[in-house]
Structure 1
Amino acid sequence: MTLMMLGVMIVLLLAGFPMMMPLLSAAILAFLIYFPDLSIQQLVQQMIGGVKPASLIAIPMFILAADIITRGHSADRLVDLVMRFMGHIRGGLAVSVTAACALFGAVCGSTQATVVAVGGAMRPRMLRAGYTDSFSMGLIINAADLAYLIPPSIGMIIYGVISGTSISELFIAGLGPGLLIIVLFSLYCMYYARKHNIPVEPKASWKERGLALRNALWPLGFPVIVVGGIYGGIFSPTEAAAICVLYAFVLEKVVFKSISVKDAIDIALSTGAITSVVFILIAAGAAFSWVLSYAQIPQQIIAAIGLEGAGPVMTMIAINIAFFVGCMFVDSIVVILILVPIFAPLVKAAGLDPVLVGVLITLQVAIGAATPPFGCNIFTAVAVFRRPFIDVIRGVHPFLLILLFATVLLVMFPQISLFMRDIAFR
Structure 2
Amino acid sequence: MSTAMLFTMIACFAISVSIAVSIGLASVVGVLVAEANMLLVVKEIFNSINKFPLAAIPFFILAGNLMETGGISRRLVEFAKSLVGGVQGGLSATCVLTCMIFAAVSGSSVATTFAIGAILIPALIKHGYPVSYAAALQATSAELGGIIPPSIPLILYGVSAEVSIGELFIAGIGPGILIGVALMAFTLIYARIYGYGKNDGVGKLNVLAATKHAGFALLMPVIILGGIYGGIFTPTEASVVAVFYALIVGYFVYREIDLPKLKLVLKKSVLSSAVIMFIIANAGLFSFMLTRAGIPDMIGRYLAEHLTSPTLFLLGVNAALFVIGMFIETSASIIVLAPILAPVAMLFGVDPVHFGLIMVVNLAMGMITPPFGVNLYAACAVAKISLDQIVPKLLPFVLVVMSCVLIITYFPSISLLLRDIVYHK
Pick the TM interval, shorter chain: over 0.9
Supply the AA of the counterpart residue of 2:311. V
Q: Corresponding residue for 1:214?
A: 212
Q: CA deviation at 1:309?
A: 6.7
Supply the AA of the counterpart residue of 2:399. L
Q: Corresponding residue for 1:28?
A: 28
Supply the AA of the counterpart residue of 1:156. L
Tell me, yes or no, if the aligned pair for 1:88 and 1:204 is still in contact at 8 Å: no
TM alignment of 1:157-176, pairs within 5 A = 157-176=155-174
TM alignment of 1:67-82, pairs within 5 A = 67-82=65-80
Tell me, yes or no, if the aligned pair for 1:95 and 1:186 is still in contact at 8 Å: yes
Q: Out of 265-274 and 230-239, give the one that drifted further.
A: 265-274
Supply the AA of the counterpart residue of 1:337. I
Q: Out of 296-305 and 92-101, give the one that drifted further.
A: 296-305
Q: Corresponding residue for 1:237?
A: 235
Tell me, yes or no, if the aligned pair for 1:315 and 1:346 is still in contact at 8 Å: no
What SS does the aligned partner of 1:150 have? coil
Q: Corresponding residue for 2:2?
A: 2
Residue deviations 1:41-81 (CA, integer Å, cap 9, x gap):
33432221111111111011101111111122011101111
**Aligned partners of 1:233, 1:306: CA distance in 2, in Å?**
39
What SS does the aligned partner of 2:206 have? helix
TM-score (normalizing by structure 1): 0.94
Runs of at least 5 residues in structure 1 that lack an aligned partner in the other structure = none
The number of residue pairs the alignment matches comes to 423
Q: Corresponding residue for 1:102?
A: 100
Residue deviations 1:178-197 (CA, integer Å, cap 9, x gap):
11112111211221122223
Identity %: 33
Q: Corresponding residue for 1:122?
A: 120
Tell me, yes or no, if the aligned pair for 2:107 and 2:150 is still in contact at 8 Å: yes
Tell me, yes or no, if the aligned pair for 2:31 and 2:37 is still in contact at 8 Å: no
For residues 187 and 350 of structure 1, do their structure 2 counterparts lie closer, same or farther at Cα, with a shift above 3 Å needed?
same
What SS does the aligned partner of 2:17 have? coil
Residue 182 (structure 1) aligned with residue 180 (structure 2): yes
**Aligned partners of 1:404, 1:13: CA distance in 2, in Å?**
26
TM alignment of 1:300-315, pairs within 5 A = 300-304=298-302, 307=305, 310-315=308-313
Q: Corresponding residue for 2:401?
A: 403
**Aligned partners of 1:159, 1:325: CA distance in 2, in Å?**
19
Supply the AA of the counterpart residue of 2:158. G
Tell me, yes or no, if the aligned pair for 2:251 and 2:257 is still in contact at 8 Å: yes
Tell me, yes or no, if the aligned pair for 1:90 and 1:194 is still in contact at 8 Å: yes
Supply the AA of the counterpart residue of 2:117. G
Supply the AA of the counterpart residue of 2:212. R
**Aligned partners of 2:131, 2:305: CA distance in 1, in Å?**
43
**Aligned partners of 1:43, 1:312: CA distance in 2, in Å?**
36
TM alignment of 1:126-165, pairs within 5 A = 126-165=124-163
Aligned to 1:194, which of 192, 195, 201? 192
Tell me, yes or no, if the aligned pair for 1:109 and 1:153 is still in contact at 8 Å: yes
Tell me, yes or no, if the aligned pair for 1:381 and 1:392 is still in contact at 8 Å: no
Tell me, yes or no, if the aligned pair for 2:173 and 2:415 is still in contact at 8 Å: yes
Q: CA deviation at 1:373?
A: 1.6
What SS does the aligned partner of 2:18 have? coil
Q: CA deviation at 1:21?
A: 2.2
What SS does the aligned partner of 1:152 have? coil
**Aligned partners of 1:113, 1:46: CA distance in 2, in Å?**
29
Runs of at least 5 residues in structure 2 that lack an aligned partner in the other structure = none
Tell me, yes or no, if the aligned pair for 1:307 and 1:315 is still in contact at 8 Å: no
